[in-house]
Chains A and B, each alone.
Chain A
Amino acid sequence: MKKVYGSAAEALDGLLQDGMLIAAGGFGLCGIPELLIDAIVESGVKDLTVASNNAGVDGFGLGKLLDTKQIKKMMSSYVGENAEFMRQYLSGELELEFNPQGTLAERMRAGGSGIAGFYTKTGYGTQIGEGKEVKVFNGEHYILEEGIFADLAIVKAWKADDTGNLVFRKTARNFNPPAAMCGKVCVVEVEEIVPRGSLDPDHIHLPGIYVHRIIQGQHEKRIEKVTTRPREEA
């Protein structure tokens, strides 16, 4: 079982195909697989559908794949921080499927758990519910949402061991575990690969069974909105 690869390009070798569905972890720019995104840009693969809560910002994260027009369709809950995204969307070059944030997360979790669909109250009576099956349980209306089965998951974690057991850090966990779960193949980039046995088995956030390839690298970890309070308040 060899899961550790030398670079993002090596780790993605043989996995990329035009028109494929990729699930990506991250929330805003927090916990995004920035090295794998760069390698996908380099590969030139196109017509991608990407399931990701957000679409990066201009020139960073998934924004890079938008700049090169490699993405055909986004499945997201919020795309407000990206001017190039809006330009492509409004001109009809880019398809967009809005998903409520919790529905998107659960669709990934479900896909990775062998659940083809589930009923949720979220979105009932709104545009999101239009055309979807409605069912009443205990007097309340639910709509049918389908699991996401991605061809590839790209994920960022804090630490991994060489068997793919993952530990995330603070709110950088976000969509990474559900995205990892729903990929037929899951490639993970981490800040540090640690020796087998050095992670406490009780403190693993995502077991290595979900992880197929791992790389270690330097991350920029850009902050989208720096907010601070004055020292005097201490």
Chain B
Amino acid sequence: MAWDRNQMAARAAQELEDGMYVNLGIGIPTLVANYVGDKDITLQSENGMLGMGPFPFEGEEDPDLINAGKQTITELARTSYFDSAMSFGMIRGGKIAAAILGAMEVAENGDLANWMIPGKLVKGMGGAMDLVAGVEKVVVVMDHTNKHGDSKLLKECTLPLTGKGVVDRIITNLGVLDVVEGGLKIVECAEGVTEEELRAATEATLV
């Protein structure tokens, strides 16, 4: 047993505190918004919006209102809009309390790789490098192993980096780990996962 996508998102939502301004990445991180409950969270979309609302009802899509994943969305009573320079000003300037994003690899020193695989289609880093460099708390949500069963939590990243020493916490289908001095520290195991199983699936040094 391990956490599924929704359980990982629900666990990631526990990282968010009342009053936080938060940026959610594409994929499982987007699902985190479904699990914030009563907490007063303001979502930032780096294309220039604070206070991102849910998807519109069919027929109410507005081409001038999209999120960073280019999906149609809606605004809320609290929403504000601004240009891309200001948007990344608040990201780089440390005003966003947390970023939750996916990853291909995380190293035990907090290095993050999530933007390119050499020799494969390169799409670009978008805003990921700015987010991990500027945001106070960077939480990675990803599967613990790749489709070949190899650990994605490594001693050193093999792929080109998105950021150096930037990750604070990793939430996988097997559990929660923190980046600490000397390696990764197990915070908790997913339901039905033993510490031995988590250790066996992890290449990074566990302290």
Please tell me if the beta carbons of A223 and B47 are within 8 angstroms of each other in the complex: no
Q: What is the 8 Å Cβ interface bit string for chain B, positions 125-156, against chain A (1 contact, 0 not)?
A: 11111100110000000000000000000000
Nearest A residue to B88 via CB reads A102
Interface size range on A against B = 35 or more
Cα distance, A95 to B201, chains bound together (Å):
41
Nearest-Cβ distance from residue B201 to partner chain A, whole angstroms: 27
Nearest-Cβ distance from residue A91 to partner chain B, whole angstroms: 14
Please tell me if the beta carbons of A103 and B130 are within 8 angstroms of each other in the complex: yes
- Interface 9-residue window, one of B2-10, B11-19, B78-86, B173-181: B78-86
Cα distance, A164 to B164, chains bound together (Å):
43
Interface size range on B against A = 35 or more
Q: Is B163 an interface residue (CB 8 A)?
A: yes
Please tell me if the beta carbons of B48 and A174 are within 8 angstroms of each other in the complex: yes
Residues of B within 8 A of A168 (CB): 81, 83
Partner pick for A105 among B55, B85, B129, B161, CB 8 A cutoff:
B85
Nearest-Cβ distance from residue A155 to partner chain B, whole angstroms: 11
Show 7 residue pairs from A and B whose CB-CB distance is below 8 angstroms, ordered by the A residue: A29-B63, A102-B88, A126-B160, A128-B129, A170-B75, A171-B47, A229-B55
List chain B positions with a Cβ less than 8 A from chain A.
45-49, 54-58, 60-67, 69-73, 75, 81-85, 87-89, 91-92, 111, 121-130, 133-134, 160-165
* 7 more CB-based (< 8 A) A-B contacts, given A102-B88, A126-B129: A28-B70, A30-B66, A104-B84, A125-B164, A126-B164, A127-B161, A171-B81
